[in-house]
Amino acid sequence: MLLAPRHGFVFLAIPKTGTSAIETAFRPYAQVAPQGLPAIKHTRYAESQRFLQPFLAAKGVPRDSYEAVCVFREPIDWLSSWWRYRSRGKLADPSSPKHHRYTGDVSFE
């Protein structure tokens, strides 16, 4: 997520869509660029309406002064990417705390 109201945009990052590269390119223009916590980085639009928009409005940045934008990935490609990510060897190990997410024993088709 990037907040750049001076430049007229708020960029919301969607998981598995290449948003990290976009954030890197636009970070110099952002007034706020949270990093490190996926729960903050991947703030959903509904959450931004509830929390970010009122915060910005209270700081003198009304909602109509910026666009909220995000990237949308082709759905089947996005699902395939998630499946491959969850098929990785690290999750195959039953002692892994995230083993319940392992998909390597299931065909993508």
Strands annotated E in 14-78: 67-70
pLDDT (tens place) for every residue of the chain, 109 residues total = 999 999 999 999 988 888 889 999 999 999 999 888 888 888 889 999 999 999 999 999 999 999 999 988 898 998 998 899 999 999 999 999 999 999 999 999 8
According to the model, what pLDDT value does residue 40 have? 87
The reported pTM is 0.72
| Domain spans of the chain, in order of start | 2-70, 74-109
Please choose, from the candidates 92, 74, 87, the residue with its C-alpha nearest in 3D space to the C-alpha of residue 14: 74
Give the three-state DSSP class for 88. coil
According to the model, what pLDDT value does residue 23 have? 93
